Amino acid sequence: MSEWFGALRRTLDPTFLSSLMPDGSATGATRDDRPAMPALKMDPAQLSAIQADYWREFSDLMARCSAPPADGLALADRRFAGDAWRSPMYAIPAALYLLNARCLTRLAAAVEADAKTRERLHFAVEQWIAAAAPSNFIATNPDAQQRLVETQGESLLAGLRHLLADFSKGKVSQTDETAFELGRNVASTEGAVVFENDLIQLIQYKPLTGTVFQRPLLIVPPCINKYYILDLQPANSLVRHAVEQGHTVFMVSWRNADETLADKQWDDYIAEGPLKAIEVVRQISKQSQINALGFCVGGTLLATAAAVLAGRGERGAKAPLKSLTLLTTFLDFSDTGILDVFIDDAHVQWREQTIGGSNGPCGLMRGVELANTFSFLRPNELVWNYVVDNYLKGQSPPAFDLLYWNGDSTNLAGPMFAWYLRHMYLQNELKQPGRLTVCGVPVDLGAIDVPVYIFGSREDHIVPWRAAYASTALLRGPKRFVLGASGHIAGVINPPAKQRRSYWTGDALPASADDWLAGAEEHPGSWWPDWHAWLASYGGRRVKASSGYGNVQYQPVEPAPGSYVKAKA
């Protein structure tokens, strides 16, 4: 696991982590020259209370272990849910682990330090707690030992094979990747690539209704992932849902950057991405205005492009966009949630100097590093349970389309990524009118005067929902904010047929997100119908669906899903 931990360490602040690593390996520092640990203080009374609680719980645990039946310990943790964990030999160490984990978490929370240090300390403690679980080691995992006996050692050999295969990939496998094929059982909505340049392919999807809305819908997905999270399988495809509702849908498919694209800047991603896609879609559809949707970083790119167009004087009736939808999107980076632990000036400078072309080479932000970083944001769910199943028990992970997508990494051009880190995450300049110049135009989000549908997910750990709500204060046009249940992906991918989860709506948009939620109304099921009802009002009249793709200027290049999405990082 050293390679994965190494990637995690490099992503965190080198100064902070060097104080945690025994050999200073995070920065290459020696024990003598590594930076000192920031001064940490704790209220003595609070420390005494934590210690007293710990010894009381410890004494109670020992008493329960001594009294018959000793195998009656209740371990309220699914990692220790199997019957084999009820044996005192395994139950007592597991119970001690849980007790120590609670104590360490309380100690980290009690530290008196600046917010950044507290966040990083909590994150580091969480990582080590997750890694130290007795379930992660075959010597202390009775379920793995039982499987070893039952398979006469075959599970151990299979686990070693899985481990070696994953080392070659640089990541822990989360699903059976052989079960999926792009264009066959994922990214399978019928369509054709009608345009391509260095950075994108533009897909036009085949209509599924006799008539369609006059104005088409352009979707800009995040460039840090493959687009088909929005087109996994027919039952959970937002693309197919939109097509079935009568929209002519176009999708941006970002190219998986290689060394030939290593010098691409943020401006290139804007100009060759959403700006070019908007131009092509308008020409193919023969519409002066279109609707557009951006998801996550795709929303940030799309909103920036819309601000560039407004800065060029293309606003009001001249605006190329009739409406804008932003799904779990940052425009105001004041609250970046758990991702804040990764960002400070030292880290951004390091990225600039190693891959960003600032006094150093242009390089690539490797997709596998991003994927591993996001997995370690939820270490028990996305890392260690697969370590246990894949390596200790020798089981192959089941086929799951969402996790297949999650492991299909995308590389980014280093200069673009470094610019994004500095000007968005670190300096939060996108929300400041005129502070940034993109494609030669000062960016002012307030100049975007089109109707906007803003969606946040309530348990989103990538784009906290209050940060998504903050966009309502930056955009000038009519706005609708909708809050969905669940997280960054599951909150968005919630098809109506499943009748799962819920969402909240509220017409008033007060300054405080919490005030909005207090007055919001909860609705059962998917938010997709609410969005479509809103979008339909900007679709224009219904016209006969086209029987072909593209036009004379933009001829079909190849069938969907295209070749860019198939390139591996």
* List of residues 6+ apart from 215 with CB closer than 8 A: 285, 287, 289, 290, 291, 322, 538, 539, 540
| Category of 120 on φ-ψ map: left (φ > 0), alpha (ψ -120 to 50) or beta | alpha
| SS3 label, residue 182 | strand
d(CA 169, CA 368): 8
DSSP per-residue codes, 404-438: HHHTS---EEHHHHHHHIIIIIIT--TTSTTT-EE
User: Is residue 477 within 8 Å of 499, Cβ to Cβ?
Assistant: no
User: Is residue 506 within 8 Å of 481, Cβ to Cβ?
Assistant: yes
User: Is residue 436 within 8 Å of 260, Cβ to Cβ?
Assistant: no
Pairing relationship of beta strands 542-544 and 211-213 according to DSSP bridges: antiparallel
User: Is residue 35 within 8 Å of 29, Cβ to Cβ?
Assistant: yes
Question: How many CB atoms are closer than 10 A to CB 194?
Answer: 25
Longest Cα–Cα distance in the chain: 83
Q: Which one from 65, 103, 223, 296 is the annotated catalytic residue?
A: 296
d(CA 341, CA 398): 32
User: Is residue 234 within 8 Å of 243, Cβ to Cβ?
Assistant: no
Pairing relationship of beta strands 479-484 and 502-505 according to DSSP bridges: antiparallel
d(CA 146, CA 157): 15
Phi first, then psi: give them for residue 540, nearest 5 degrees.
Answer: 80, -170
Question: How many CB atoms are closer than 10 A to CB 339?
Answer: 18
Phi first, then psi: give them for residue 66, nearest 5 degrees.
Answer: -80, -30
d(CA 442, CA 436): 6
User: Is residue 206 within 8 Å of 231, Cβ to Cβ?
Assistant: no
Helices (H), 220-332: 238-244, 266-270, 276-285, 297-311
Concerning whether 296 is annotated as a catalytic residue, the answer is: yes
Q: Which residues are catalytic?
A: 296
